[in-house]
Structure 1
């Protein structure tokens, strides 16, 4: 993993530690969301196990946004080689899943989204990453050209639009 270096070329290990913790929380979120499969009971609020799993899952989902914010703060650079490497990795693994679904589960219809995973949004995070890489040079230039007050206003407006 490449170390995070601030504008003064000094390594800041606390940001790297936070990114590592975020990665662990993302894995934990996947384990809770997909692996545990705790169902909603007909008791108060779905049962203690359900409430606890949802509460832990809420903390884990924050890790994705935190990871992207840390990465974005230090600038995301557009790199064709990196994008192509990720593209081919995603295609390789999604085609393996598609072949398994066809041969192992006899599910031709369920395998179709795996043939074009980025376009079909089967792996939503990779789709968002490609969009972010494409837009990031413009966003970096915009952030560098705005004053601190204008940047605060833009962030506030973005939050209102996004959450509204």
Structure 2
């Protein structure tokens, strides 16, 4: 059963995905010289990066909180939604002359694994979820806790520092597994960390974001690190960074403690059911670098006033979000028609295989 306050979190997480792509992705990771020459501008961009970099981790935490329960219809629908937006984006951009009609681009539409890193990592998590759920259900709290501690010690010591490339800075199913199990532990055992009041999480989230901003800017003024700001920034804002994971957990529990008015709940659930479309519309290879990044970069340089430019970027982000939701409602209508015709043969194939 959907919980409106968590569905609101899902909506906010997708908005943060849009926002994080307006920061370091669109403007590039800053060098020490760039920060020193324009400290106000880069402090603001770093702050935007700090508050929004949690988006992916939050989305995985939501999956862990509820627990993934694989179903044939859900899996097929997931692929249908991904292919729908890939093909739509490719078709529109090709018609506008922004991308060539080539075998390489056609292949990108058909090979999800190599096209969208999040989709491939989440798909692997989806496949592994029954085994992960069994681990949670049939393992004692003490053992589960030890597994989590060992996992995160290894991730922080070797994965976050880059000594073990398999973690890929959090861009991997391995990091997703850790977040999924962490959220399951929170949900099942409700440790002390999960029982504070909402304001504690608000303060924690903002303090970590401010700390990340200070660190992200201060490294440009440290003689030892000033020539390696981009590399340090990548590490600081990695999805498997302890700062980012703690910040994501704090952000999650802000919403977990929230109580929403009844008249908002239906609208929130309606919007959240299409929220993944926001990622698929703007983060696919025919959109993110083709039009999203250039538009954001242009808006950043539109005037000499950073905050005026940011207001325009925010309006653009909201516009992309709304367009994605509207398009996805049309996709849902099409999916209902397709599923009615495909359900029986697909189930026969699944039964034959299993």
Is TM > 0.5 for Structure 1 vs Structure 2? yes
C-alpha separation between the residues in 1 aligned to 2:37 and 2:117? 28
Aligned residue number for residue 129 of structure 2:
136
- 1:21-60 map, 5 Å: 21-34=12-25, 36-37=26-27, 40=30, 42-45=33-36, 47-48=38-39, 49-60=41-52
Answer yes or no: is 1:71 the counterpart of 2:70: no
Aligned residue number for residue 9 of structure 1:
none
Measure how far apart 1:153 and its partner are.
0.9
Aligned residue number for residue 2 of structure 2:
3
Secondary structure at 2:54 match in 1: helix
Sort the Cα spacing of 1:45 and 1:115 in 2 relative to 1 into closer, same or farther, 3 A: same
- Deviations along 1:66-124, one digit per CA (max 9) or x if unpaired, are 2311321221110111111121221222233444565623362651552334221x111
- Deviations along 1:23-75, one digit per CA (max 9) or x if unpaired, are 332232233355x5367473445633234213322321213212311321221
With a CA cutoff of 8 Å and minimum separation of 6, indicate the structure with the bigger relative contact order. Answer: 2
C-alpha separation between the residues in 1 aligned to 2:112 and 2:87? 12
Which stretch shifts more, 91-100 or 53-62?
Answer: 91-100
Aligned residue number for residue 18 of structure 1:
9
Aligned residue number for residue 304 of structure 2:
none
8 Å contact kept, 1:97–1:114: no
- 1:151-162 map, 5 Å: 151-162=144-155
Which of residues 101, 113, 123 is equivalent to 1:119? 113
Aligned residue number for residue 106 of structure 1:
100
C-alpha separation between the residues in 1 aligned to 2:94 and 2:7? 41
C-alpha separation between the residues in 2 aligned to 1:110 and 1:37? 27
**Which TM-score applies when normalising by structure 1?**
0.74
Answer yes or no: is 1:148 the counterpart of 2:138: no
Which stretch shifts more, 127-136 or 13-22?
Answer: 13-22
Q: How many residues align?
A: 153
Secondary structure at 2:21 match in 1: helix
Secondary structure at 2:70 match in 1: coil
Q: Which runs of 5+ in 2 are unaligned?
A: 159-354
